[in-house]
Structure 1
Amino acid sequence: MKKYILILLSFSSSFIFSQKIESHRLTKKEISERELENVTDFPIYRAFEFQDKGGVYELVLSENQKTISKKDTLNTKIQAICVINDHGGFLEKWRINDLLEDNLPKETNIWFWTKYCSTKDIDGDGFIDPIIVYGTRTEDGYIRRVKVITVYKNKKYAIRAVECDLDDCRSFKKDQNWNMLPEKIKTHVDQLLAKMRKEQDVLLKNG
């Protein structure tokens, strides 16, 4: 009996540790094969597949790609949609929708900042913690708004920043539920913000 229990425990441990945490960007061919065009309203800009203890997920980043001229393609709306394959179809887990604002200075483009997006298991609990980063630009080409959205256990935790030369029109706000995130994730996002400040012309602060 003891031997049977030991074998069972060994098998259970092996199964737990065999759960893969993987993530990779999908090619255009893979996007087409998975028919991911059916889950979004706009052309797909990037798509990722990731696997964790919850299953295999597809993350689609799409932009409506409003063409202004032959050289420039600007977006007025974006969508980020995460789905899981469910009996041959897709079951949506969460989505993010956003669009240009009418406030002055006028915004003319909204886009995913994929350089700073990630699909990693940040806190080591066996589940991926996606981070979605996107921004807007004004008609003069300056960054106006920046959003950093962390998805933890299918709930969204956002940081919203408005960039401006004047102190009174600049802002930086974290959602009220921000402190509910694990410390490892909050630290990771703080380091990401520091990297963005260093690499890009953004202040990401109040006043």
Structure 2
Amino acid sequence: MRTFFVTHLHPKCLKGFYTLFLSLLVINVHHAIAQTSFPAPVILSSAKAAALITDNVRQEFKMSYPIYRVYQYADQSGQYYCVLTESRNTVTEHDTINQRIKAVNLKMVDGKFTKTWELNDNFTPEVNEESSIWFWTKYVEFLDYDHDGLVDPIIIYGTRGSNGYDDGRAKILIYYRGQKVAIRHQNGVLDDERSTQVDAAFYNLPASIQAAVRQKMEQMVKNQHAIFPNGWQTAMRNKKTAFDEAQ
């Protein structure tokens, strides 16, 4: 039996093979970058945080509240530090009362910090009937959920009302490729007091990020930190941007 080899290809075929080769090369390079291993996010000790976030840095980025926690994380775009600050208006043996919070996300570039984003929230006790606001770090994470080589920070915080968590509010913030996406929720003792608003952009996020957020919402319910409206899972599957007990 004879074996035949193709020794000549038509120019159009060569062009097709060349295009296919380049496409596969780009895909493989992108895959390799996305799979690059980066150090796991860490929480800096108080001493390390103080040495890094100096008074000059705090002044430059207008961080006037005491630092509660500093997260360090890295991805293919660089090294980052997320600084969580809380006002600590009253500190007792059993509790800390905050009326204002601020988070600043800093990127280290050539030995200097640049701000990539920040968040602020506050309340007035006489107006909002809330007693404190703070970061719910149990749910805060800095992970690359969609494996594209970029960390997708999820920040969650909330307030305490006159009935504790039962009538406070909660906010979930997702930072994805420079875009801030929010889910805002109001707890309530009575059914008709509960409501949730979801940014329409949430439903355009990668499925893995949406699933991670829904899982955190389930944890918030389990831990009695949130009472979402009945049927909220179905509402989110149907991509609703607002839902409450009346709907």
| 1:49 counterpart residue number | 72
Distance change in 2, residues 1:36/1:147 (3 Å): farther
More strand by share: 1
> How much does 1:129 deviate?
0.6
2:185 is the counterpart of 1:167: no
Contact 1:25 1:47 (8 Å CA) reproduced: yes
> Which of the residues 191, 200, 207 maps onto 2:224?
200
Structure 1 residues without counterparts, runs of 5 or longer: 1-8
4+ residue segments displaced more than 6 Å: none
Q: Which one-letter code corresponds to 2:176 in the other structure?
A: Y
| 1:27 counterpart residue number | 45
Question: Cα deviation per residue 1:13-48 (whole Å; 9 max; x = unaligned)?
Answer: 9x8454525311111111122125514221111110
| 1:129 counterpart residue number | 152
Q: Which one-letter code corresponds to 1:183 in the other structure?
A: A
| 1:5 counterpart residue number | none
Question: Cα deviation per residue 1:174-201 (whole Å; 9 max; x = unaligned)?
Answer: 0121112111100111111111111224
| 2:122 counterpart residue number | 99
> How much does 1:83 deviate?
0.7
RMSD between aligned residues: 2.4
Percent identity reads 34
| TM-score for both structures, normalised by structure 2 | 0.72
More helix by share: 2
CA distance in 2, matches of 1:52, 1:180: 22
CA distance in 1, matches of 2:149, 2:187: 36
Structure 2 residues without counterparts, runs of 5 or longer: 1-24, 230-243
**Greater Rg by CA:** 2
